[in-house]
A and B are shown apart, each in its own frame.
Chain A
């Protein structure tokens, strides 16, 4: 069974640009969540999608957005990039009930210069 796949693995962008990250969940999983990790911080929740609907959103500015497709693949978009957006972005997929484990991808390392 394939795991959670994130693309690209590494990305360098310039301030002011926008970026789109992709996440393919484990087959059959309908929930996809996105997290940001910056140096010295724990994983910060961005948002969660379930069956193409955003169910929860973390405390991030509107420049951060996402969507989920009918095949459960999800994309995350960051517009007008700032230096502080440089981070590791992880996505996680879940199947079954809420109190089950999340399966993480290896992440996309975004560097904004």
Chain B
């Protein structure tokens, strides 16, 4: 069973640029969630995708957007990067069903640094 994978591992961008992060969900999982983890903080929910549609969003501006593909892999896009976007971005996948009872399986994360 292949776990959740993310690419790239590390990324350095400058303010104002755009970035795309990628995630492949665990086999059989059709729900993908994205989180931002700033240094010294817990992960903050960005949004979730289920069957290629956004299914819930946290308190993040519209310049954070995403996609889910038919194979359940997902992308997180961030436009007009700001210094505060520097963080570890985590992707998690889960099985369908009642969300409150679903264990989420996390990928290793992408470390984004904005200069």
Partners in one complex: no
Binding site for B on A (CB under 8 A): none
